[in-house]
């Protein structure tokens, strides 16, 4: 591998149907102050003529338009999602829409020699697709580029604890040699995976039993909130440990050098909690200086450092908690107690909050978009840095992806020279501008039935035109979506 590979552009698509969480709190008798602090400000919902495939195609078309991509040079189109509604085809559905839209606007279609994989692993599918695209370019001899699109629909039952963390949207990434935004250090990416049983699952059997296999298919998950948080903290820590090993560096030393940190973001507070925990764990393995700082934090929290160290160096069996029916237990109770005190420290402000500030505020208005959550934050952060006039050139950036089940990837990157030009084309804020604030009735109907009265119709992009219903021996298309390109 002689050329550097990485990300040259981002494009974002979210549906216009917006649920304001302050209004939602009034409808559901929830506390707005807590919801705003922990979750965010609003989330988006897919419309009656939208699916994960139309959203993905809209994001990719924006990417091609904004960055002047030659469709004939796209040799890889990867789709990362956990919201597929077709168990046979995947990214090729998106390619079909794009080919039609490109030709309708007088341009050539994507290359006929384009790979079209779909990757699924909960919220990590998009990161895995990105990793595949980077490896593809590292080995591809022809003059090609790759596009990865992460698209998802996060739906939870009304009245569940996950309800305010819903969302829908897609983020497309342009992957190139000699990238214009972020160089990815493939050789240093850290990986971790471990089976967790009931962390977060979407068994098809459950949805069949619930009678949802129709035009409005709701893929509502099985999840256990406290256990899921434990799994997230544990798996991301193992991925970061693997990254540090590959880099041959102590984690806290590398963390201090970072210009920005982005992590999978199911809701606002979770990534801060995860990275703060990772920093504390890193101190336990950072030699004498790390132990001195850890002891200082323990002393301030009035906790015995020896006991905290022993816990941090242990290897708790997270899966056993589920097997024992003890999913509400903390795998790291002392560390969690220390974390609560650490959040009030100057070190937290400098090491965690400051490095995770880019794009954080606007991300409160996008909701949880599963596979698209991490790339969305990266896009928002780079656009935010450009608008602030921050000079990130040569700066080190860390992205941490996570997917329930569990698996995690820790990806070290470096900001490219002249990154500002590519960042200026992202258009994250512009993607959020067209919106319709839903009423309570519209929200409930759209959630429960897939449609509602008084919804605005998208005035451009890809939409579902119809769904096939024929099931006879001569011609069968039952359940297959047909699309059209609105201009």
The Cα 139–Cα 367 span in angstroms is 36
Q: Smallest Cα–Cα separation from 175: which of 247, 242, 126?
A: 126
CB 98 within 8 A of CB 109: yes
> For residue 19, what are the CA distances in angstroms to 83, 217, 439?
20, 20, 8
Q: List per-residue pLDDT tens for the chain, 487 residues long.
A: 457 999 999 999 999 999 999 999 999 999 999 999 999 999 999 999 999 999 999 999 999 999 999 999 999 999 999 999 999 999 999 999 999 999 999 999 999 999 999 999 999 999 999 999 999 999 999 999 999 999 999 999 999 999 999 999 999 999 999 999 999 999 999 999 999 999 999 988 766 655 444 456 778 898 998 999 999 999 999 999 999 999 999 999 999 999 999 999 998 889 999 999 999 999 998 888 899 999 999 999 999 999 999 999 999 999 999 999 999 999 999 999 999 999 999 999 998 999 999 999 999 999 999 999 999 999 999 999 999 999 999 999 999 999 999 999 999 999 999 999 999 999 999 999 999 999 999 999 999 999 999 999 888 899 999 999 999 999 999 989 999 999 8
Query: How far is 169 from 28, CA to CA, in rounded Å?
Result: 24
Helix/strand/coil for 213: coil
Q: Left, alpha or beta for 243 (phi > 0: left; psi -120 to 50: alpha)?
A: alpha
- Given a contact cutoff of 8 angstroms between Cβ atoms, the answer to whether 17 and 446 are in contact is yes
Nearest to 124 by CA among 53, 31, 72, 199: 199
> Which CATH code for domain 5-223+365-486?
3.40.47.10
3-class SS shares of the chain: helix, strand, coil, % to 5: 45, 20, 35
- Three-class secondary structure of residue 376 per DSSP: helix
Q: Residues near 474 by Cβ (< 8 Å), separated by ≥ 6? A: none
Q: What is the rounded CA–CA span in Å between residue 373 and residue 166?
A: 12
CB 44 within 8 Å of CB 14: yes
- Cβ–Cβ under 8 Å, residues 30 and 160: no
- Whole-angstrom Cα distance, residue 391 to residue 33? 34
Pairing mode, strands 436-437 and 461-467: unpaired
Domain extents in the chain:
5-223+365-486
Nearest-angstrom CA–CA distance, 470 and 388: 55
Separation CA 93–CA 107 (nearest Å): 19
Residue 207: its pLDDT value, please? 63
Per-residue tokens: 449? 């039935």
CA distance 284 to 250: 10
334: which strand partners? Answer: none
Global confidence as pTM: 0.96
Helix (H) / strand (E) containing 52: helix 52-67
Name the nearest CA neighbour of 333 among 475, 407, 233. Answer: 233
Task: Report the pLDDT value the prediction gives residue 208, as an integer from 0 to 100.
Answer: 61
Residue 239 contacts residue 264 (beta carbons within 8 Å)? no
Q: Which of 182-201 are b and which e, b meaning 16 or more Cβ less than 10 Å from the residue's Cβ?
A: bbbbbebbbbbbbebebbbe
**Do 399 and 185 contact (CB within 8 A), yes or no?**
no
> In the structure encoding, which two tokens stand for residue 133, read together?
């695209």
Closest CA to 19 of 435, 454, 362: 435
User: Residue 240 CB: number of other CB atoms within 10 A?
Assistant: 25
């Amino acid at each position: 591998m002689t050329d550097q590979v990485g990300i040259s552009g981002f494009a974002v698509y979210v549906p216009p149907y917006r649920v304001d969480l302050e209004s939602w709190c009034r409808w559901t008798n929830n506390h707005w102050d807590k919801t705003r602090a922990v979750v965010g400000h609003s989330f988006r919902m897919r419309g009656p003529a939208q699916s994960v495939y139309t959203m993905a195609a809209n994001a990719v078309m924006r990417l091609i338009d904004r960055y002047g991509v030659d469709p004939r040079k796209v040799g890889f189109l990867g789709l990362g999602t956990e919201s597929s509604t077709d168990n046979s085809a995947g990214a090729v559905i998106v390619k079909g829409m794009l080919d039609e839209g490109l030709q309708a606007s007088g341009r050539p279609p994507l290359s006929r020699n384009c790979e079209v994989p779909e990757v699924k692993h909960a919220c990590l599918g998009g990161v895995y697709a990105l990793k595949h695209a980077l490896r593809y370019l590292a080995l591809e001899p022809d003059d090609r580029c790759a596009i990865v699109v992460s698209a998802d629909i996060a739906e939870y039952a009304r009245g569940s604890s996950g309800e305010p963390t819903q969302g829908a949207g897609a983020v497309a990434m342009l992957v190139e040699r000699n990238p214009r935004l972020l160089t990815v250090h493939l050789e240093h990416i850290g990986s971790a995976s471990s089976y967790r049983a009931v962390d977060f699952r979407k068994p098809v059997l459950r949805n069949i039993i619930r009678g949802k296999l129709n035009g409005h298919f709701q893929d509502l998950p099985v999840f256990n909130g406290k256990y899921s948080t434990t799994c997230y903290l544990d798996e991301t820590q193992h991925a970061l440990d693997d990254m540090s090993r590959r880099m041959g560096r102590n984690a806290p030393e590398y963390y201090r050098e970072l210009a920005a940190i982005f992590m999978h973001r199911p809701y606002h507070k979770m990534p801060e909690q995860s990275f703060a925990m990772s920093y504390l764990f890193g101190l336990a393995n950072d030699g004498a200086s790390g132990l001195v700082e850890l002891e200082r934090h323990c002393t301030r929290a009035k906790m015995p450092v020896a006991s905290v160290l022993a816990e941090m160096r242990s290897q708790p069996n997270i899966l056993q908690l589920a097997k024992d029916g003890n999913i509400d237990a903390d795998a790291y109770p002392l560390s969690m107690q220390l974390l609560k005190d650490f959040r009030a420290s100057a070190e937290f402000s400098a090491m965690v909050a400051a490095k995770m500030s880019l794009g954080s505020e606007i991300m409160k208005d996008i909701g949880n978009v599963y596979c698209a959550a991490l790339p969305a934050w990266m896009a928002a952060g780079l656009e935010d840095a450009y608008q602030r006039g921050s000079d990130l050139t040569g700066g080190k950036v860390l992205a941490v992806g996570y997917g329930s089940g569990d698996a995690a990837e820790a990806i070290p990157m470096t900001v490219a020279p002249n990154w500002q030009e590519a960042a200026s084309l992202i258009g994250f804020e512009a993607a959020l501008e067209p919106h319709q604030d839903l009423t309570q009735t519209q929200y409930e109907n759209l959630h429960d039935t897939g449609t509602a009265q008084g919804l605005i119709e998208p005035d451009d992009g890809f939409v579902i035109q119809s769904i096939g219903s024929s099931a006879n021996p001569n011609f069968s298309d039952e359940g297959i979506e047909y699309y059209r390109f609105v201009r």
